[in-house]
Every structure is written in C-alpha cells, then in structure tokens.
Structure 1
Amino acid sequence: MADPANCPPLTRSSVQAAHKLIRPYIHRTPVLTNTTLNNLASTPQTPESLVGTQWEGHQPAHPKLRLYFKCENLQRIGAFKARGAFHATLRLMAQEGWEANGGREKGVVTHSSGNHAQALALAAKTMGIPAHIIMPSISTPTKIAATQGYGARVIFSGSTSVEREAAAAEIIAETGATLIPPYDHPDIMLGQGTLSLELQEQSVELGASGGLDAIIAPCGGGGMLGGTALSCEGTGIRVFGAEPSFEGANDAQRGFDAGRRVESVTSLTIADGLRTPVGVYPWSVIYERKLVQAMYSVTDEQIKTAMRLVFERMKMVVEPSAVVGLAVALFDEGLRGVMEREGGDAGWDLGVVFSGGNVSMKALSGFFSVEGA
C-alpha cells in the first residue's frame, strides 16, 4: 500500500480530488426520498415502545424529518467499497517506481469476508493486475463466488483477524503483492467519502434547498464514516455514526464514552459488515478531530424492522448493515431528541447512507422466517 505519510492530507479538498480520480470507474448512485418513511420518522414512538429502554417514562421525541437516501446498494459490486478500492488502486499505480519495480505483475492483496474482497477484485481486474484475496472459509458462498467471478485468486483462511493477516503476510512473501487494507488507510477513507459529496449535491437537487442539516452513516471499520466526515468539514453539515448494539458491536459508541478507541470486537450481529473495530486512521478523524458529532446504536430487531420497511416501502434490496442509520433515525430517542430540539418547526433534512445490498436470499428468508416473510 502507498505509504500513508505520502498520502494526500485528510481534508475535504482531498475527497474532492479522489472523486475526480475515480469518477470514470464508479456509479453516481441515486438519492431517493420516501414520503412514508418521512412520516414514520416524524411520528413519535409510543410510550409503550420505550419500556425497558433508557428512555422509559420520558416523553417521546417528535422531530420533523425529511430523509434523503444515498443508495450505495446500487453501486458497482453492490456496496460503497468500490469507491475506496478504486481510489487506493489508482493511487498505488501512480506511485513513483511502482511499474518499474514490477508492481503490475505482482498485483495486490487484501483480507476480507465480503464487500471489500469483491471491490478490490473488480478494481484489479479493471486495471489489469492480479488480485489475491484472503477470505475466511466461513464466508458467504455468494460473496466468494462474486470475488472469484471478478478474476481474483481466493485463498481461504481462519476467521479471526490474526489468521487472516497471517495468510496475507504469506501471500505477500510469495508474490510481492501490495496490501490494500479494507478501511484503515487514508486512500481508502478519501475514496469512501466521495459518496457524501454526491449526496450533498443530489439532496439539493431533490429539494433540500438550504443543503442537508446532517448525514448519518453506518460504522464498522470507520473508513466510510471518516470519509463522510471529511467531506462535510467546513460545510455546516453535522455527521452522526450508527452501529448495531448486539454483543458490543457498538465499539465506536463505547469508545466515545470511554475517550479511547476500542481495539477488538467479537459480535455476531446480523449487521455483519459492522463487526469490525474502528481503525486507527478513521478514529483520528471520527473522534480525535471531533468531525463526527456522536455515535448511536440500535438492536438487531430494530435493524430488521428498518430492512422490512425499505423492502416494503422503497422496493429495494439492502443488507442489514445498510439500514442501521435509518434504524437510528427511527428508534434512537437520543438522536431523535437532538433533531426535535434543533430542527424545531422547520425540521431537518437528513441524509441517510444505504451502504450496500449484498445479502443472499437464504439470509433474507432466515431474518424474516418467524414473521412468515
């Protein structure tokens, strides 16, 4: 990977430069609105629904919200990860001496169980270089097949980060390939942040005449949330992060509370793309530079409810990780209270990132089988 010390500074202008670089290789995904979801988000929860939560006995918040959904589930490979993979690959190829030292023949390597695996495989195929992808043997068969379908060499490993990193080190020693990590690198963050630049422009075109008041985005390793925060710096747009709470998957939220980064996560939340702890570079932007206002989390049941609403009301396929931001807007009284107090009668224009749509029919039927879906 390009030496982080030689990467562009982590600024909004660098996100804009990244967007110019990758624009020929990505989709400008649509931004959609939905009146029904606006109405649901603008309706107070019932007091009964707050029983057993930290807001039990409180008056439910009554924000007025207009939601703008950035549909990265319609991005190439079905997720925002294509943006960071293309940016990192293009930056690597432009590095002085890369071609002369056999970089094109040696290729790239990463370790990922899903979306980044597919994204890097596609970027490498597009650029005509080999890709070696370490995937846990328990990875979803459809994601393995998609990664191989893009022409990558898939090497299976154990599921822990230690096992995956060890396998990657072996491939690097064998081939000389360059590591392109899933999220913890400036080039990845800058590429991911380009989705927010588009969201800011598209929401104005759809009626947010004064621009967005805020954006809420899912957070796993933090590359996309960090990039989104960089793209909003100096614009007045507030940025919030969303995580699943199941089995401590809300590591960034806990890190905010403790004042330090949580370095490991062990969770089987259905939001499988968000089971990763926030990386060092994203944390430096999200927390240390205070570019993310706050982190919020929701239960797996609330995530499933949000998924069902998107399927039924927007007619779109989204993975569980993609709707965590929507679930927070619907159910987290902490954020809803902020939006009510600060939005007042005028309300808020809120950008919501749908991060991906890579979910199998088998998984979908499992999520909703009890409900007869």
Structure 2
Amino acid sequence: MNKIRIPAEYGILVFGILISLVIIIWRIDLAYGYDPTLIIPEERQPFYPDEISYYCGTSIKSFSLGDFLKSFLQGYPMSINLWGNFIYFLKEYGIKWYYLFFIGIFFYILFGIVLIKILSLLMGNSIDRLFLYLIIMLHPGILQIASSWLRDIVVITLLLFSLCSLLKKKPFSFFLSTLMILFLRSYMVVINIFLLLFLINKNRKRAFLISGGIIIVTIFYFLVQPYGIIYLKQFGQKFIPRLIENFSGINLWLFQGKIIPNGGLMDLEVWATYYYVLTYFCLYVYIIFKKRIKFRYVLESQLFLSTVFTGLFITILHSMIFGFFVSRIKLLTWIMFVISTASIVGNKEKMKGDLDETFIYS
C-alpha cells in the first residue's frame, strides 16, 4: 500500500493559519463597538484606512479601456482597483465586516500552496526549502494582510501564481493571473512583464535592455507631467534611502528609534520592519555560506535579474509619486528575493535534467 506523503510545509501553513486567526480575534475584540462606516480618520485604529474605504464604498471604481488609456495620455494614470467594488458588494449583500477577515485567510492558504509548488520546483526535497518556506509564511507583513480584507494578499498570491505558470510553461494561466492583477493593482503588471522577459528565453542581454528601457520610460513619463518638477525633487530625496530599504530593510527611522510597538493595530507593521532587516541579513549570509555567489544555471540569473528590476521599479514609483513605503509594498521585492535565493541555493542534484531546459522556454 502506497503511503501518501504530505510536505512538511503544510504543518507551517496550518500554524500560520492559527496565528492569523488569533490576530483576527484580537482585531475583532479591538474593534468591538466600532462601525467601519462611522469611523472618522482620527479614530481608525481598529481598521486600516483601505479597509474602511472598501467597506464604505468610497473606493468604488468604474472602468473602461478608453478612460484608462486617456488617463495615461493626459498625464494622470488611472489606478485600477476593483477590489473595493468587490468588498462593497459583499457589504451591500449583507455580509458583516467581521466575516470579511476570512477572505484573507482563504488567500493565505492559496498563497501557501502555490509557494510550496514554486519552492519544490526550484529546490527539490531539502531542509533548506522548509527554512525558506518558514520565513515567508511567518513574515509579520504576510500575517498582517492575511488577517485583513486588504487586496494585497490576493495580489501577491497572483504574482506567485504567475511565476509558477511561467516555470511550468502554462501561458494561459500566466495571462489569466496577469489580467486579474491588472484589475486589482494595475502597475504590478510591469512586474509580470519583467518575469516574462527574463523567463521565456535565454537571451538575458535583450531582456536586460528591454527591462532597462521600461525603467527609463517610467521615469521620463512622470518627469514630463505637469508636476514633473515635484516628482523629480521627491525622486532625488527618496530614491537612494528607499532603494537601500527595499533591499535590506534598513531605514533612518530604525536608527532614530522611532519604530517601536505601541500595542495597537500597527504593531504588525513595526515587527515587519525589524523582520525585513533580520531576514535580509540572514539571507545574504545564507547565500555566502552556501558558496553560491556564481550563477550555475540560467534560471538563477533570470530570477535574480527579475528581482533587481522589480525592486528598482517599486522604489522608483514610491519615490516619485506614491506615499508611505509600507510593509505590504516592500513584500513584493522581498518575496522575489527569497525565491531568487531558493534558485541559487536549491538542491538541483535531486532534480532530473538541466533546469535551463526543464523550465525555460527555448
């Protein structure tokens, strides 16, 4: 009788679900007596601002391709976020706000399952795979969005699904997940373009030049807008500090002692900040300890370059036009970095054939 082997990662997934449920219970208790539709800005502690805007319907979006393209030509690109429409629909349908938390749990489970598939493809069966899975699933930033009705856990899950689709040569699945990302957080489609460019062929130079062109066009686009001077000033002030933060977790406020927990909802954001610094340090040491500085396979360099361009793109946007550089935004680069680490230190010897031929389009 054949035994059914269940990956050890599922134990970590269950543990993460339990932690998320505890956070949800705490949040419900914290919000006892509050109504999300009545809370004014100064009293938002029980809920995140985006949760309130989704629930109250203030972020309802109407969408047409013509309006979307027109907004780009006019210099005011439309932000597509139909997640707010979905949450407001559930609220109007009679779903109470405390049930909405379980949307995050559902996508946390999907996130964990897709992540297992990706790490299995890149690393085979090894204790290293379990270690990397552990640090991702128990990241305070992941647990923060898993215990909310924010769109971020959905978007990051779709990002992983896109990557998994490319690795397994499933173009339709990749197209579908990219389309869904477009409707939830439109600018993230560019990250999928980076993945596509670097993973569909072995011509890294061409992919590098096209990706670099996308970065240059992005900067130029915002500089020629009516507020271009302001964007340029913000870029000059914020780009280097945020680039360092995006690839190390280190920021000035940490050295100034301004990031401390206060017993409120934002404590998860605080712990995530420290977690970034700790895990980036450990991952850099981990790569060096494994003596995997040189890329042995095309896939390693492709994922690494995808991560670099993802980090650059996110940093540019959040230096020029977007506001706070919060944990759930930095997760995009961090998760890509961990996956890139998995490809570098992965146990390729236990996998049949050359990864370049197995996963990369010829």
Shared fold, TM over 0.5: no
Give the TM bin, normalised by the shorter chain.
under 0.3
TM-score between both structures, scaled by the size of structure 1: 0.22
Higher strand content, 1 or 2: 1
